[in-house]
Structures are given as C-alpha cells and as structure tokens.
Amino acid sequence: MRGFSYLRPGSPDEAREAARDPSAAFLAGGTTLLDLAKCGVAEPERVVDITHLSGLATITVGDDRITLGALATMSRVADEADIRTHCPAVAEALSQAASAQIRNMATIGGNLMQRTRCAYFRDPATFPACNKRAPGSGCAAIGGAVRNHAVLGVSESCIATYPGDLATALVAFDAVVHVGERRIAADDFFLLPGATPDREHPLEPGEMITAIAIPASPAARRSTYLKIRDRQSYEFAAASAAVGLELAADGRTIRDLRVALGGVATKPWRARGVEDALRGKIFEPETVKRASLAAMEGAVDHGANRFKIDLAPRVVARAILTLGGLA
C-alpha cells in the first residue's frame, strides 16, 4: 500500500471539492477501499473521510417512499422494522450479504460502489491483463477459470460479475440514487462493460452518493430476496433473485411483478422479460416456471459458468412461487 494524504472535510460540499481530483477516493466504512488497497488495485493519492458528515445516515419510511441515507450501515438498514415491513427484499438482501462484522461497518452508499470479486481483477501482480483495472490490456478471465463469472451483459472486454446483493433489490423496485441534486435510476447507475469496463458508474470526480430512495408499492411490500450460493454464509451468489408480487383482487391474477437477478450478470439485472410474460396471467406453477426461462434471454456462457443459465430461472421461479404460497 503506497502513501496517501488524508482529509476530513467539514461538509458535503467540502468533501465533493476535495474529491474532484480523479486520484482521490471517498472513505466511509472502508470495507471495499481498504481491501482493494491491500490488493494493489486501489491506489488513491488522497482519501476523503466522510464518515462524520451529518445528515447522511438518516433512514425515513413514508407512505410514498423509503429513503436511505448513504452513510447508514448495512446492518442498521437490515434490522429496521419498517424496512422489513415495506420492502423485505431489501432487508433480506442486506442480511445475507458479507459477514456481521462487515455489515456493521459498511455503508449503503459504499455498498453500491463496491467492485467486482473477479480474481483476475483483484490480483494485478499475477494477472496484469484486466480491462477493468488497466483499459486496453485485455481480459485474463476469458479462457481462464470462469465458474463465478457473468453470463448476462458480457462483452469481449469483460465478463466480471457484479457481486452485490442490495443493488439487485434496488433495481427490482425502481430505486433512485441521489447524487447531491442529481437523480439516477438504480438500473442506470450500473453501466454495462461494453468496450469501457473500467467505467462502472456515471459519476464524475467529486460526485458523492447522498441517499437512495425506493418508491412504495404493493410489490415491494410483498417481496423477497432468494440467494443461492456454495455455502450458507459469507459467500457471494451463484444466482440470486429479488422478487416482488402483487395479485389482483381475485387472488389469482398477477397484477404486478418485479424481478431482478444477482450473481449472473455484469450489473444488477432487471428481468423484464419475466415480468412481461407473467403480468395479467393466472398465478400457476407451470406458468411461472415457463416464464422464468426468459430470465436468461441473451445469456452467453464461457464453459464452466454454463450452470448459471440453468440455475437462475429456477431461482426466479422458486422466489415467485414462495411469495404466492405455492413453493
């Protein structure tokens, strides 16, 4: 880890100004930044500590939306009773992420900014070729060990999986990321790799997440997050699904459905094909299972990650059927 300067600004505006230099990095919980610094991936020349800034850790649950301050910790949001009532998928996604120690430190804003767990990205000494870390150098993962890599949203430049759980739920329920006065839909906040996998978010130097807003909806209130992984705790998803369901007054017709996938794509992946296939349909197991296959439209495997194409639709179907009491 190389040397860097440390700043502790007195206000959000001072923090933004201090971080306008592209070589600067914000410090909140530090669970990602310090980890990447130890790996030799992150080498900021200036660290801007925002942990003490007031007004950025507030959690508000109203009739029309949930608002999460960027500095609220993962554990605090997961344990909030109103969050569990109004959008259980968010609480479940957070409670299944990382370890208890990390959840107690990591912030909501920092969670959205976490970077891939791709082993090639995180080991520059052994694998210098990584377009996400060194644009134009190539992708060492392609042709390598790819069991944990993405099958959706991939490009010739990058097949790294987005690792987060929370963001999957946020994308499912049309959350909006507040970046000062700017508002960015959660689905647009995460960029596809294309030819520029090093650019993961539409943020400019000095821009800082201040809050995340989740619109209230019947589907959010009746929601869940299902995460399938190789071991029960402290493991990233092989495939996951954040799902919300609203049935019509007859209790049989699907009025609204929200589905987003984690663990299988280069960004949190909204499965709109599944949603469109089931809205207005009678809630029946075979109909749900058949429609869930649309979750993998456009999927491309690289060999060892082929199992995700089979696994993800099953995860989606199980989550939907669980919400409807048919699993």
In the chain, where are the structural domains located?
5-49, 59-113+163-323
In words, the CATH class of domain 59-113+163-323 is alpha beta
Closest by CA to 206, choosing from 3, 1, 5, 9, is: 9
What is residue 178's predicted lDDT score, i.e. its pLDDT?
A: 98
245 in Cβ contact with 222 (< 8 Å): yes
In this predicted model, what pLDDT tens digit does every residue of 64-117 receive, in sequence order? 999 999 999 999 999 999 999 999 999 999 999 999 999 999 999 999 999 999
Q: What predicted TM-score, i.e. pTM, was given to this entire model?
A: 0.97
**Quick one: which H or E segment has residue 321?**
helix 307-323
pLDDT reading at 29 higher than 90: yes
Q: Identify the pLDDT of residue 104.
A: 97
| Phi, psi dihedrals of residue 15, rounded to the nearest 5° | -65, -45
- Mean pLDDT, residues 30-55: 95
- Which band of pLDDT confidence, cut at 50, 70 and 90, is reported for residue 325? very high
Long-range contacts of 270-273 (CB under 8 A, 24+ apart): 270/171, 270/172, 270/187, 271/241, 271/295, 271/316, 273/297
Q: Which CATH fold topology does 5-49 show?
A: 3.30.43
pLDDT of residue 1: 60
Mean pLDDT of the chain: 97
Under 8 Å between Cβ of 261 and 292:
no
Residue 315: what residue type? V
**Span 32-54, average pLDDT:** 95
CA–CA distance from 99 to each of 74, 218, 233, 258, 280 (Å)? 10, 30, 7, 27, 40
Q: What is the mean pLDDT of the segment spanning 33-53?
A: 96
Provide the phi-psi class of 218: left if phi over 0, else alpha when psi is between -120 and 50, else beta.
Answer: alpha
Q: What is the C-alpha separation between 240 and 228, in angstroms, rounded?
A: 6
pLDDT at 2: 79
Whether residue 128 has pLDDT greater than 90: yes
pLDDT mean over 295-306: 98
Handedness of CA 318, 323, 326, 327 (dihedral sign): positive
Average pLDDT over residues 239-267: 98
Q: Is a pLDDT exceeding 70 seen at residue 41?
A: yes
**Which residues lie below 8 Å from residue 4, measured CB to CB, with a gap of 6+?**
43, 44, 45, 46, 47
Helices 285-292/307-323 angle, 10° precision: 140
Instruction: Please compute the mean of the pLDDT values over residues 274-292 and round it to a whole number.
Output: 98
Given this model, what pLDDT does residue 16 score? Answer: 98
Average pLDDT of the residues in 120-141? 98
